[in-house]
Structure 1
Amino acid sequence: MDWIKSINNALEYIETNLTEEIDYSKLAQAACCSEYHFSRMFSSMAGITLSEYIRRRRLTEAAFELQKTGIHIIDVAVRYNYDSADSFTRAFKKLHGIKPSEARKKGTMLKAYPRMSFQLSIIGVKEMDYRIENLDFELRIAGKKKTVKTRMAARVISELWGEAKENGFLKTLIDMSWEKPQCKMEGILGICGKDSDIRDEEFEYFMGARYQGEVPGDMETLLIPPSSWAVFPNVIDAWKRIYSEWLPASGYQLGNLPCIENFLTPGHQPENELWVPVITGYMEVKG
């Protein structure tokens, strides 16, 4: 399948650039998708993050060089993009359990992480629940936006919600979101960027709630036009599987709107949902 070939093209790019600065935008381009989506798809299929895979491959090759050559440790560190011998030594010891200087000793046990490749295999044994929602009205969302580096999105977004809980902003959104509910997107919302295909190094993560009243002065308003959505229970599981399983199988195209994480009221099952904009061809807008 073309998407498997694209992922392997990206892996080839990594291998040919282990001793260079890896350009994540070029890596995503090789995979024929956005940087944001490629990172999520890779993690879901490989079981480790993209950055961790690159780290393991570099340190594997570094160990081979230390064993086979008389190259100085600092030169190996620089070759594999470490700023100093100390940072290289810490990373090397974390992976291999020994210092780089000990890697040259005969009989020393090291870890090797071979190059990955993806092949067509049977997946989808576990079913994916989803529904299609056609919202024929404009969504008016009040909240605040934060700039997030694409490469660090998963960690940073989690930290943002932790901060919102501590400073009271989350409580404010809760009070707003459960006032006069009008549709199924009635929880606390996390809007990811401007469209479903994030290609920039940074994007705006909008933390808000649907609200029809007067917006507080320290917040702003985001408007999303009438649109169709594929809705998946369990945000974390959905992010892992929609790009590697659901999209290739469904034939749907992504719409030019952001994906939305919807965190629902206590006791609701599921507790959260991922809303993914799709083009269905059946949308009827009332006017």
Structure 2
Amino acid sequence: MDWLERMNRAMDYIESNLAGEIELSEVAQRACCSSHQFQRMFSFITNVTLAEYIRRRKLTLAALEIQNSEAARVIDIAIKYGYESPVSFARAFQSLHGVTPARARQDGIALKAYPRLSFLITIKGVDAMNYRIETKESFEVFGMERVFRSDDGGDAPNTPAQFWQQCHANGEVERLAANAGDLPRFVSQDAYKVHGICSYKNTGNDTFPYMLFAFKSETSNVNGYSTITIPAQTWAIFPSEPIARDALGETIETLYRRFYAEWLPTSGYEQVDEMELQVCGERAGLHTVELWFAIRKI
């Protein structure tokens, strides 16, 4: 089953269960990935979160039922689409459509409709993507790790970006850099000492691990840090052009979006265990980033 078919099977499940319970684990299973990975792919490709897409689809169908069925009570429609009270339903309905459910039955009232999404291959003819595929032997990394929830909930920091900010503020990034030692030969010597790695082990369907790491070498001091072994893998590596620091976040997001939306669907590869690295560096006084995705032939 190819990437497009898997993604559309997941969308079929969502569409069939809008008036019932949508299990994110089931959505992910149909896409052959974890719940966390599916939500990330979905948001990068569509520019909307999965939760927001589901909310819009539910309220689109609810509006159609309100308009087309005079006999149906608003409270029954609200419960059908997962709202526990008419107040919460009315608030969500007005936020999306701009009118209350009661006014939606009036002639001439304008409402919004969000159609069902399907994934297709689109020939865009946009800028070429720079990437390379490299097979690397097993290596070790060490650093500070946290487990995050896919919905960005839980105790602060709630996201990897906030984790980075916290570790910069308390000096942990600088301390890790001082303990990093020499860079291994398979890493660009323009690279910094500290980087990020995501989804390198299983922590549950609705969570994912993230580590601020340094590559382990003979000169590294790993005392007090978590150490993990990255098995031999084939990597698809997507480098950025040199950029200013304030453009780093937007550049990383663009690389992710193009990997998921443009490269992966047509490459003949699939991601392995969702493992990925963010390897940062500096060139000519500007910042660079490489995204490493573990892949294998389909």
| TM-score w.r.t. length of structure 1 | 0.80
Aligned residues of 1:41 and 1:241 also touching (Cα < 8 A): no
Which structure 1 segments of 5+ residues have no match? 281-287
Supply the distance in 1 between the matched residues of 2:159 and 2:142 (Cα, whole angstroms).
21
Deviation of residue 263 (structure 1)? 2.8
**Deviations 1:223-273 (Å, cap 9, x if unpaired)?**
224444221125322322323432343334544582112233486655222
Q: Superposition RMSD on alpha carbons, in Å?
A: 3.1
Supply the distance in 1 between the matched residues of 2:272 and 2:12 (Cα, whole angstroms).
30
Write the mapping of 1:58-97 to structure 2, written as runs, cut at 5 A.
58-69=58-69, 70-97=71-98
Distance 1:73 1:259, change over 3 A: same
One-letter identity of the residue aligned with 2:36: Y
Supply the distance in 2 between the matched residues of 1:42 and 1:206 (Cα, whole angstroms).
23
Equivalent residue of 1:148, what SS? strand
- Alignment of 1:202 with 2:202, yes or no, is no
Aligned to 2:256: 239
Write the mapping of 1:40-59 to structure 2, written as runs, cut at 5 A.
40-59=40-59
Deviation of residue 9 (structure 1)? 2.1
Count of aligned positions = 275
One-letter identity of the residue aligned with 1:126: D
- Alignment of 1:260 with 2:277, yes or no, is yes
Which structure 2 segments of 5+ residues have no match? 240-250
User: Which shifted more, 159-168 or 16-25?
Assistant: 159-168
Aligned to 1:251: 268
Supply the distance in 2 between the matched residues of 1:246 and 1:270 (Cα, whole angstroms).
24
**Deviations 1:135-182 (Å, cap 9, x if unpaired)?**
44623x2222211123549x72223223323333233334445x4333
Aligned to 2:22: 22
Deviation of residue 123 (structure 1)? 4.0
Aligned to 2:174: 171
Distance 1:251 1:67, change over 3 A: closer
Supply the distance in 2 between the matched residues of 1:76 and 1:257 (Cα, whole angstroms).
38
Distance 1:35 1:82, change over 3 A: same
| TM-score w.r.t. length of structure 2 | 0.78
Supply the distance in 1 between the matched residues of 2:268 and 2:285 (Cα, whole angstroms).
30
Supply the distance in 1 between the matched residues of 2:213 and 2:98 (Cα, whole angstroms).
45
Aligned to 1:214: 221
Match of 2:198 among 192, 195, 204: 192
**Deviations 1:61-107 (Å, cap 9, x if unpaired)?**
11122223344433332221123333323322221122323322332
Q: Percent identity?
A: 38
One-letter identity of the residue aligned with 2:122: S
